[in-house]
Amino acid sequence: MNDSITTEARRPRIALVMGDPAGVGPELAAKLLARPSTLADAEVYVLADAAELADAARTAGVEVPLSAEPTPGFAVLLDDSSAPAEAIPAQQVSAEAGARAMHQLTRALDLANDGKIDAIVFTPLNKTSLKMAGMNHEDELRWFAQALGHDGVTSELNVLEGLTTARVTSHIPLSEVAGFIKAPAVTAAIQLLDETLKAGGNPTPRIGVCALNPHGGENGNFGREEIDEIGPGVVRATELGIDAQGPFPSDTIFAAKRHEFDGIVTMYHDQGQIAMKLIGFDAGVTIQGGLPVAIATPAHGTAFDIVGKGIANTGATEHAFDLAVGIARRKIAVA
C-alpha cells in the first residue's frame, strides 16, 4: 500500500482497475492514462503490477507517466507484486483471468472502505471468468455491495449523454423476471434513478417507466403486471414527489419518447441494454448505482476478437472515468 494516499487530497482520488486481463481492458486503461486530462483532473491510483501495465502500454502504443507520489500529470502505480508467474491466456475465459480481476477489484474496494479513494473505475470484466474464479453472486454489483457492507437498494445504471436507465431486475433468467416485478421494487428503482440524477446535477429529473408485456399488456389481455404491479409502483413514486410516468411499451418509450425523459426504468436487462447500445455503443457507461462509493465501467464487453491489435475504442472508458470524477468531485464539494 502506498502511504501517499491521504484523505486531504482535494482532487478526486480514483482507483483504476484494468479489468479482465484476457480482454481489451488493459489496453483501454493504458490509453486512458495517456490522455492528458485524465491525470490533470484526478489523482489516479493504478492497481496492477509494473509488468502488466508496461505490457498494456506497449499494446496500446502509449507511454504512461508514473510518479511515486500524487502529482498532476502522473499516475501512481500500486504494485503489490502479485501477478502470476505464468501469463494468463488472452482472448479466452479462464479462472486465472477472473481471479486476477477479482484480486485487483478487492484491493480497490479495500481502499474505498478505508476512505482512501473517492471512486473506482474498472475496464470490462468477463462474467464467466469471474464465476470460474469463485464469484457466486448474481453479478459483480452484488459482490461490490457485500464487500462495501451495503445492504440497501442497488441497480446497474446505464448512462449515455442525456439519458440514464435503471433496472428492476438484472442478471437473472428471463423466465424468472415476471416473478420479481413487484410494486415496491418498481418504486425502489424509480427512487434510485431519481436520487442518482439529482446527485449528478439535475434537480428535476423526468423519469419514464417501461411496461413488461407487449403493447403494455393491452389492458390485461397480454399480462397483468402493468395493472397489478408496475402502475401502482409508479403511482407510489409520484406520491413521494418524483416526476415519474408510465408504464409505456418499451419499444415506443425508446423510439418515440426517450427525449421526454432524463431517465428510464426498465424491467429487465436487455429491455434497456439493447436500446442503449443501439443509441450509443461506444459511449455507454455502467454505474453501480446505490453504493456508498462511485463505481463506473464502460458498458461494452471484453472484445476478445480485437485483443492485442491496439485498436480498442476508448470512448466509453473515458466517459466512465469522467463520470466517476464528476460524481466524486460533487461529493467532495458537499463534504
Give per-residue pLDDT as tens, 29-54: 999 999 999 999 899 999 999 999 99
Final residue before a domain boundary, out of 282, 298, 325: 282
Higher local confidence (pLDDT), 10 or 203:
203
Phi (first) and psi of residue 133, to 5 degrees: -85, -5
List, for residues 115-173, the tens digit of each pLDDT value: 999 999 999 999 999 999 999 988 888 899 999 999 888 888 989 888 999 999 988 89
* Residue written as grid cell 449515455: 160
332, part of any domain? yes
Which pLDDT value is given to residue 9? 47
Residue 63: give its domain's CATH number.
Answer: 3.40.718.10
User: What's the half-sphere exposure (Cβ side, CA atoms, 13 Å) at 121?
Assistant: 32
Helices (H) and strands (E) in the chain, counts: 13, 11
Q: Is residue 157 part of a domain?
A: no
Condensed to tens digits (0 to 9), the pLDDT of residues 231-258 reads 999 999 999 999 999 999 998 999 888 8
Instruction: Give the Cα separation of 193 and 155 in Å (integer).
Output: 9
Are 325 and 298 contained in the same domain? yes
CB atoms within 10 A of CB 155: 24
123, 30: one domain: yes
Q: Are residues 13 and 122 in the same domain?
A: yes
- Strand-strand pairing, 285-289 and 263-266: unpaired
Give the structural domain span for 21.
1-152+284-335
Q: Is the pLDDT of residue 65 over 60?
A: yes
pLDDT of residue 289: 83
Residue 112 lies in a domain: yes
b/e map of 240-278 (b: 16 or more CB within 10 Å)? eebebbbbbbbeebbeeebeebbbbbbbbbebbbebbbe
Q: Is residue 142 within 8 Å of residue 169, measured between CB atoms?
A: no
Q: Distance between CA 27 and CA 34 in Å, rounded?
A: 11
- Sheet of 163-167, strands arranged across: 76-77, 43-47, 13-17, 119-122, 294-298, 285-289, 155-160, 163-167, 263-266, 207-210, 244-248
Question: In this structure, how many other beta carbons lie within 10 angstroms of the beta carbon of residue 221?
Answer: 10
CB 245 within 8 A of CB 211: no
Domain for residue 248, yes or no?
A: yes
Same domain, 315 and 189: no
- Those residues with Cβ within 8 angstroms of residue 130's Cβ, 6 or more apart along the chain or in another chain: 98, 101, 102, 140
Whether 60 and 117 share a structural domain: yes
The whole-model pTM stands at 0.85
Q: Are both 88 and 173 inside the same structural domain? A: no
Instruction: Provide the pairing of β-strand 294-298 with 285-289.
Output: antiparallel
Asked whether the beta carbons of 329 and 296 are under 8 A apart, the reply is: no
As for how many domains the chain has, the answer is 2
287 phi/psi in degrees, rounded to 5? -105, 135
